Structure 1
Amino acid sequence: MANDHLASRESARHPETRPANPRFSSGPCAKIPTFSLDQLSDAALGRSHRAAIGKDKLKAAIEGTREILGIPADYKIGIVPASDTGAVEMAMWSLLGARKATMVAWESFGAGWVSDVVKQLKIDAEVREAGYGEIVDFTTIDFDTDVVFTWNGTTSGVRLPNGDAIPADRAGLTICDATSAAFAQDLPWDKLDVTTFSWQKVMGGEAAHGMLILSPRAVERLESYTPAWPLPKIFRLTKGGKLIEGVFKGETINTPSMLAVEDYLVALDWARSVGGLKGLMARADTNAMVIWDFCDRHDWIDNLAVDPATRSNTSVCLKFTDERIKDGAAFAKAVAKKLDDYNAAYDIGAYRDAPAGLRIWCGATIEAADVEKLTLWLKWAFETVLAEQTEAA
């Protein structure tokens, strides 16, 4: 009876309308708003990716990426295995070791790259770290070393606001994991020598494929330096001291999913329809601002990012600040579960290594109207869980 009474009480109090699409996961992220499986009917299924039809579609994915992101014509773009992780690992294993490295991290994925370089590659590296919600001061970094960093901390909601601190005359390479930044944030290509991302973030694509973007400086390093360690086949970008050009023309190292490729092509078409990169960035900014304004209006929740200039407009991370909350982790988990149970928001719990709280994806495939509705549900869930925990105590 008590549970029935509680359910009735909740039903009477909760908002009347739910987000049309409650998928706020930070990866894989929501599909494009116009998505339908029928849009994939032109996929080259059952055909070799090395046949003309497969090569054409893979090349279209590469050149569509260049077009939307404004990547310089002399930069190489490749589709590689194992999502963004594969692209980052390929870059580190192929390029690092020629000079000292600086590993920069302010969240779990950046910390993972630190671990791989220090414990696996065992190269000479300085490690610069900041806690969740903060960021490393890039003006203090030696860019005559090879610098590895994430542009947007997917698990911390903290991003690099710009690339102003990266000098044009740097001697080292910059290797940037931009997986939750690409298509939503303005990436300064002249400051980035290696950039990686996956389709499953801002574009709402399918997982398993990564993008590797190389500047001429990165290509020069590849062709003039051979790492001391052996490279697995899926990491090899050169042959006989020369770049394997085919990788950057759609001749992938291993077999890609042509269904996933078609899905990405559809997403690129949608990106064009909303105004290209500027349109995508504006959508993400609008979505994130809904959450930021909500936090400003309520004293029990706040952005995890300490400096507003570093707030992510994609993976917006929040923390509960109400002093009545006794167990932050349990409270945040209960709020996320409440929203999931009522089909108001799926998969918005903080990342497992991050501080207790919520993580709400606000990338371009999300509709601002859904974020507005989510905030009403978020307020309801907070009040409901707080009342339940107070009553239980």
Structure 2
Amino acid sequence: MSTEPTVRPGRPFFSSGPTSKFPGWSLDKLSTESLGRSHRSALGKGRLKYAIDLSREILGIPDDYLIGIVPASDTGAVELAMWNMLGARPATVAAWESFGNVWIQDAVKQLKPSNLTVLEADYGEIPDLSSIDKGDDIVFTWNGTTSGARIPDADWIADDREGVTINDATSAIFAQEMDWSKLDATTYSWQKVMGSEAAHGMLILSPRAVDRIENYDPEWPLPKIFRVKKNGKINRAIFEGATINTPSMLATEDYIAALEWAKSIGGMTELQARADRNAAVVQEWIDATPWMRNMVSDPAKRTNTGVCMVFQGEWYDSLSPEDQAGVPKKIVSMLEERHVGYDFNGYRDAPPSLRIWCGSTVETDDVAALLPWIEWAYAEVKASHS
């Protein structure tokens, strides 16, 4: 039997959502003045507006874009955009992993707009996005949360596009630059890159998106939590601190604390640099490990947040599919039992894999400390099959 490593991650939190809290986080860092107060009070609305304003500042969102806090996490934000905007013109929905496929199912089985094109690619790949007609509305996921494949840039989106773009950015934003000029509806949730609490989504609308919403009424009904118009115009109160339904002020304060931490370390420049450093450590280890490879073969398309890796080699390839699926599960279980690393198994719909969250709230030393433990656990699992 091999010898266990001696160095442990100081914070063994490698889940891809909810992700690790920022370094130094504790409950006593949260402001509690708004708790027990109405979210409609001047104080409540002020804190919600502060969260919006900090988000704009850190992300560099243009002044003429609207930012709103909406229900149901990133899922609610994406579906709100789809339900309000699709159907006005031909549409393309592109996906290369689990969550993007949810948006395909929404379009194909629920909304059923005419002139719908579906673009799909296997895990680790990205479809030919340059084939999308500039007249189409486009729904896509910037970063494949469950595959680790991201778009390198938004150059494939036409500057003179006629349709709107709906961008699910939840596992990319705060760690990867967004080309706001190409994005009309962008969504994310607090519990991804910033490691905050779940249930709330962010919806960022360009002037083109606002124009679409104000001048188009879809054929399908809109649930209350998707309604952002009032008297035929966008309800701007939603983007100034009012909300469609009751938000958690405790979750809001947690998000504000994360944003203030991000600002204190240097904002987007340092947030992206932290994720880049973490992902580089993992990739260097993958390159030096013959029985592991990145799920994404093209380095330009590899994420710097949820790095996904699959097993390879003669021993692993000789296993039955059931035993192959058991390898990452056993590794994660062994390290969780030892409190070395939590929740870094691959997504349930993905190929058998490990997925290490390398986003901005994770410390590089903790990522580096986890990797020898994976080597040790792999050797133990392999020896148990001998």
> Shorter-chain-normalised TM-score: which range?
over 0.9
Per the TM alignment, residue 163 of structure 1 is displaced from its structure 2 partner at its CA by: 0.6
- 1:193 aligned residue: 184
Taking the TM superposition and a 5 Å limit, the aligned residue runs for 1:1-393 are 9=1, 13-124=3-114, 125-325=116-316, 326=319, 327-390=323-386
Question: Aligned with 2:208: secondary structure?
Answer: helix
Contact kept, 8 Å, 1:43 with 1:258, in 2: the verdict is no
> What is the one-letter code of the residue matched to 2:10?
A
Question: Aligned with 1:309: secondary structure?
Answer: helix
Judged with a 3 Å threshold, the aligned counterparts in structure 2 of structure 1 residues 344 and 141 are, in CA distance, closer, same or farther, namely same
Instruction: Give aligned pairs, total.
Output: 380
- 1:5 aligned residue: none
> What is the one-letter code of the residue matched to 1:287?
N
Question: Aligned with 2:315: secondary structure?
Answer: coil
Q: Aligned equivalents of 2:326 and 2:165: distance in 1?
A: 39
Contact kept, 8 Å, 2:213 with 2:234, in 1: the verdict is yes
Q: What stretches of structure 1 of length at least 5 have no aligned partner?
A: 1-8
Contact kept, 8 Å, 1:328 with 1:357, in 2: the verdict is no
Q: Aligned equivalents of 2:383 and 2:131: distance in 1?
A: 47
Question: Aligned with 1:152: secondary structure?
Answer: coil
Per the TM alignment, residue 241 of structure 1 is displaced from its structure 2 partner at its CA by: 1.2
Per the TM alignment, residue 136 of structure 1 is displaced from its structure 2 partner at its CA by: 1.2
Contact kept, 8 Å, 2:32 with 2:250, in 1: the verdict is no
Per the TM alignment, residue 42 of structure 1 is displaced from its structure 2 partner at its CA by: 2.9
Q: Aligned equivalents of 1:263 and 1:330: distance in 2?
A: 36
Calculate the TM-score normalised by the size of structure 2. Answer: 0.97
Q: Aligned equivalents of 1:284 and 1:217: distance in 2?
A: 31
Calculate the TM-score normalised by the size of structure 1. Answer: 0.95
Task: Describe the superposition over 1:129-164 as per-residue Cα deviations: whole angstroms up to 9, x where unpaired.
Answer: 000010012211113100000000000000001011
Q: What stretches of structure 2 of length at least 5 have no aligned partner?
A: none
Per the TM alignment, residue 43 of structure 1 is displaced from its structure 2 partner at its CA by: 4.4
> What is the one-letter code of the residue matched to 1:193?
D
Question: Aligned with 1:333: secondary structure?
Answer: helix
